[in-house]
Amino acid sequence: MPLPKNRSNSVRTIKYKTPSGENRIRYKRRVKGNKHVCAVSGQLLTGVNSFSTIAKSKRKPSRPFGGRLSPSVSRKVIKLRARLADKQITLDDVPIELLPYMKSGKQ
């Protein structure tokens, strides 16, 4: 009988054969992913994974601010950036929490 800590579904059983021909069982805890949230609104981000077995391009959306900001906040940031570029507004008009995303550099 396995130990109580190994009787859960969050522990995977791996059966293997030793060089002497004996069958054994190894227990390995499954990796849980983190919940990803928007940096500004705290809203849960969908379409973002933290599993290292998935290709990096599949782990987060391939759009500006993908994996960092929610779609609604990133839409606001893109609009404010365009207005800043056209000089319709100044940096003083931008909300404080969105200021780090106003610089036109790496997103």
Residue range 68-105, pLDDT digits in tens:
999 999 999 999 999 999 999 999 999 999 999 987 64
Does the structure show a pLDDT above 90 at 43?
yes
Closest CA to 75 of 96, 83, 92: 83
Tokens of 83: 């207005």
Does the structure show a pLDDT above 70 at 106?
no
Does the structure show a pLDDT above 80 at 34?
no
Q: What is the pLDDT confidence band of residue 29, given thresholds at 50, 70 and 90?
A: very high
* Section 14-43 average pLDDT: 92
Task: Name the residue ranges covered by the structural domains of the chain.
Answer: 1-30, 33-107
Q: What is the pLDDT confidence band of residue 107, given thresholds at 50, 70 and 90?
A: very low
How distant, in Å, are the alpha carbons of 2, 50, 81 from that of 35?
31, 8, 28
